[in-house]
Amino acid sequence: MALDDKVPALKSFSSVALSGVTARKDGKIYGVPFATQTLVIFYNKKVYAKLNLKEPESWDEFLANLKAIKAAGITPLANGGKEGWALEVLHGVVCPNFYGASSYYNALVKGETNFTDERYQKSLEKLLELRPYMPENFMSVSYADMQMSFINEIAAHFIGGIWEAGYFKSQNPALELDIFPGPAAKKGDPRYVSSYADGSYGVYSGSKNIDAAVKFINFTATKEFGQFFTDNLLQLSPVPGVVPKGEILQKVLKLNQNSTPYVTLVGFRWEEPTGSALLQSALQGMMADQISSKDVVNEVQKGVAIWYKPFQK
């Protein structure tokens, strides 16, 4: 059921949050989002302290940190390639600062450029530079393995979604973690983070208790609910005015000032073949040296162009 008129609070939500609940067919809003996610780099504070490292601002500084950690005999990066979606997440953290973040995204969505844009292709190649710092045989490392190695302090960095913060802490209370956004191409440039609306609550139009449902759903758009949500689940609520507890989430709120849509999920996951599915498998091929970055972008472009009208000129 369309909620535009039923939930007035929706008007004050951010556009990122609303993009995940707006139907493409009629432009109406069909849900109240309950979480937004941001993609970041987690790191182990103890390792950084021991090796006297500072949060990197540029890509080169990041690689230098990874190198130092590897020299000290610790696995620098937990990430692996067995699950394609983890590589998509990796690209969501690393690539925006190289392909031009929202300016590229907006042009892409309008069809003014496409996936074969050199900016996008070159940004994917940055992922290859991380391979020496990934675990041995990283293509066999599954997402669960990745989580485990960061939680058990075997690996020093974990590139992923902010939703893991609560999970990591609960699995190992002794773990001291912090986050920083994907490094900029050049020191001093703004650092963008991919973000997207995660889930939402909707109302079934055939419900026998429409009034009660609408009343409840208005509640989920209130600050009271948003605060309750973020306090208990340690995730970011899209309700405006909600202040998350804890340093990490507050840091993410600040980082979100430079948020950019998580390209493939936000823009191209709504018809088959989805941009996400295409990118996930293709990135596996690239990270395994089976295909080049050019092949990757060609594959994604070819697949998405089947159904994405702006690409069909």
Partner 1 sequence: MILRMRFREAGLPGKTLYLFFELLLATYTVLILLPLVNMFLSSFKSTREIFSSPYALPREFRLDNYLQVWVRGRFGRYMLNSIAVTGLAMLLDLLLGSMAAFGIARYRYRLNTAIYLLFLSGIMLPLKAAVIPLFLLLKRLGLLNTTTSLVLVYAAMSLPSTVFILTGFMRGLPQDLDDAARIDGCSEPGIYWRVILPLVRPALAIVTIYNAIPIWNDFFFPLVFIQSDDLKTLPLGMTVFFGQYQTNWALLFTGLSIAILPMIALYLMLSKQFIQGLTAGAIK
Partner 2 sequence: MTNRNVHRNLWIGFFVLPGLFLVGLFIILPLFLSLVNSAFAWEGIERRAFVGLDNFASIFSRFPYQKRFFNAVRNNLVWFTGTMLLQNSTGLLFGFLISKRIRGYRLYKSVFFIPVIFSIVAVGFLWTLYLNPQLGIVNRTLKEIGLKRLALSWLGDTRLATPTIIAVNIWRWLGFPTLVFHAGINSIPEENLEAATLDGAGDWTMFWRVIFPLIMPSITIITVLTLIGSFNVFEQIYVMEGLAGGPYYSTDTLGTLFYRTAFGAVDTGIPQIGIGSAIGVVIYLLTFAASGISAVMLRRREVEM
Instruction: Provide the binding-site residues for partner 1, judged by CB under 8 A.
Output: 143-145, 147-148, 167
Report the alpha-carbon distance of residue 158 to residue 43 in Å, rounded. 6
Candidates 29, 141, 217, 263: give the one binding partner 2 (CB under 8 A): 141
Instruction: In angstroms, give the least distance from the CB of 85 to partner 1.
Output: 9
Within positions 67 to 106, which residues make up the interface with partner 2, using CB under 8 A?
80-85
CB 193 within 8 A of CB 262: no
- Residue 273, preceding bond cis, omega within 30 degrees? yes
For residue 200, state whether it binds partner 2 (rule: CB under 8 A).
no
| Identity of the residue, 152 or 209, whose beta carbon is nearer to partner 2 in the bound complex | 152
**Residue 47: count of CB within 10 angstroms of its CB:** 20
Q: Binds 143, which of partner 2, partner 1, none (CB < 5 to 8 A, cut-off by type)?
A: partner 1
Q: Binds 167, which of partner 2, partner 1, none (CB < 5 to 8 A, cut-off by type)?
A: partner 1
Instruction: In angstroms, give the least distance from the CB of 15 to partner 1.
Output: 29
For residue 23, state whether it binds partner 2 (rule: CB under 8 A).
no
Instruction: In angstroms, give the least distance from the CB of 142 to partner 2.
Output: 8
What distances in angstroms separate CA 249 from CA 113, 182, 218, 260, one per listed residue? 34, 16, 24, 18
Contact residues for 255 (Cβ-Cβ < 8 A; gap 6+):
38, 40, 181, 191, 193
| Identity of the residue, 167 or 204, whose beta carbon is nearer to partner 1 in the bound complex | 167
Per DSSP bridges, beta strands 200-201 and 32-33 are antiparallel
Report the alpha-carbon distance of residue 234 to residue 98 in Å, rounded. 30
User: Which pair of tokens denotes residue 116?
Assistant: 């074969």
| Identity of the residue, 104 or 196, whose beta carbon is nearer to partner 1 in the bound complex | 196
Residues in contact with partner 2 by CB under 8 A are 80-85, 135-141, 145, 269-274, 276-278, 280-282, 284-285, 288, 290-291, 299, 302-303, 306
